[in-house]
Amino acid sequence: MKGYIFLILTIIFETTAIILMKKADGMTHKWYLMTGGVCYAATFFLLAMALKYLPMGYTNAVWAGTSTFLVYMAGMIWFKDKTSFTEIFFVACIITGIVGLNYLQKGK
C-alpha cells in the first residue's frame, strides 16, 4: 500500500510541476518556475520511495501515463490547448494501457 501512496504523490507532484512550468511562461514568472522545480525534486524523491515497494516497469508506466493524461487534460481545460480526435484516441490508448497494467498487477 505504501508504494501506491508514493506513486500517487509522484504523479500529483509531477503534474503540478509541469503546470507550474507552463505558468512560468519561460522565465517570466520566477515564482512559478522555482515552485515547479521544488515539485520536480519532490517527484524524484517520491518516485525513489515508490520503487522500494513496486516493480520498476509498472511504476514507470503508470507514473508516465497518468501524468501525461493529467497534463493533457489540464492543457485542454485551463490553457485552452487545441486537440483533435486522433489525439484523444491516443490518450485513450494510454489510459487503456494503465488500466490493463493495474489489472495485471492485481493478479500478482
What pLDDT was estimated at residue 108?
66
The model's confidence at residue 102, banded by pLDDT at 50, 70 and 90, is confident
3-state secondary structure of 84: coil
From 16, 18, 103, 1, select the one nearest 58 (Cα to Cα). 103
Q: Distance between CA atoms of 90 and 12, rounded to whole angstroms?
A: 22
Say what percent of the chain tops pLDDT 90: 90
- Neighbouring residues of 4: CB distance < 8 A, sequence distance ≥ 6: 50, 53, 54
pTM above 0.85, yes or no: yes
Give the mean pLDDT of 47-70.
95
- The candidate with the shortest Cα–Cα distance to 51, out of 108, 10, 96, 100, is 10
